[in-house]
């Protein structure tokens, strides 16, 4: 398939905490309870380099998580990981409920209206406070943003790589700018 990652991101390291090698991280999983079962992690830098490690302990603090990794014993060692991602092997992911999807499963899906009109292909998924937003590359390379809400995306078949949408009137035209109006706003 090619689009399924081997590792899933569960946190992003923000900064070191204290002098004992701990880090504060932003939780980026819908299942923070998963940390109870995590032992092995991959710490991945923005450039793709990574370190395999063992999670020694964790605790939640003010909507974030404090993590302590094996071998990371000083503030200097912890500082190295600022901006890095904490990942787990895909097979260790929490099983999903019916009608739940990993966001990466939506990448590459063809998007069509329920009446059969082709909108395009999901190229990215933006996470927002409310619902994820599908970034769909349209027929003429335009970008169409579609909220991934059940009312708008009633049919999702990640195996067949197809999403059927029932967009409210005007939604599909929101992101399609008229070139002459775009230049007149500058």
Instruction: Work out the average pLDDT over 169-178.
Output: 72
Q: With 0.85 as the threshold, say if the pTM is over it.
A: no
At 110, which helix (H) or strand (E)?
A: strand 110-113
Q: Which domains does the chain have, with CATH numbers?
A: 7-91 (2.40.30.60), 103-176 (2.30.30.240)
CA distances from 27 to 18, 54, 164 (A): 19, 18, 30
The three-class DSSP label of residue 135 is: strand
pLDDT of residue 159: 84
How far apart, in whole angstroms, are the C-alpha atoms of residue 43 and residue 87?
A: 6
pLDDT per residue as tens digits for the range 54-82: 999 999 999 999 999 999 999 999 999 99
> Rounded mean pLDDT of 84-92?
88
> What are the backbone angles phi and psi of residue 156, rounded to the nearest 5°?
-130, 120
Q: What is the pLDDT of residues 119-173, one digit of tens each?
A: 999 999 887 777 889 999 987 778 999 999 999 999 999 889 999 999 988 888 8
Backbone angles phi, psi at 182, to 5 degrees: -65, -40
Can you give the pLDDT at residue 178? 46
Using the predicted structure, report yes or no on whether residue 186 has a pLDDT greater than 50.
no
Predicted local confidence at residue 7, as pLDDT: 86
Give residue-wise pLDDT tens across range 28-55.
Answer: 887 788 788 888 999 999 999 999 999 9
Contacts of 42 (CB under 8 A, 6+ apart): 7, 50, 51, 52, 53, 86, 87, 88, 89
Higher pLDDT, 126 or 185: 126
């Amino acid at each position: 398939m090619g689009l399924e990652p081997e590792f899933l991101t569960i946190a992003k390291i923000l900064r070191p905490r204290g002098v004992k090698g701990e880090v504060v991280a932003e939780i980026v999983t819908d299942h923070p309870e998963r940390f109870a079962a995590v032992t092995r992690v991959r710490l991945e830098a923005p450039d793709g380099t990574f370190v395999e490690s063992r999670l020694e302990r964790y605790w939640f603090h003010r909507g974030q998580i404090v993590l302590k990794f094996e071998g990371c014993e000083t503030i200097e060692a912890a500082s190295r990981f600022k901006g890095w991602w904490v990942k787990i092997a895909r097979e260790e992911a929490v099983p999903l409920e019916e009608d739940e999807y990993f966001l990466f499963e939506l990448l590459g899906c063809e998007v069509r209206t329920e009446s059969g009109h082709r909108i395009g292909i999901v190229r990215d998924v933006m996470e927002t406070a409310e619902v994820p937003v599908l970034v769909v590359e349209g027929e003429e390379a335009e970008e169409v943003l579609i909220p991934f809400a059940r009312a708008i995306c009633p049919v999702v078949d990640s195996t067949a790589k197809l999403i059927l949408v029932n967009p409210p009137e005007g939604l599909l035209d929101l992101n399609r700018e008229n070139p002459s109006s775009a230049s007149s706003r500058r």
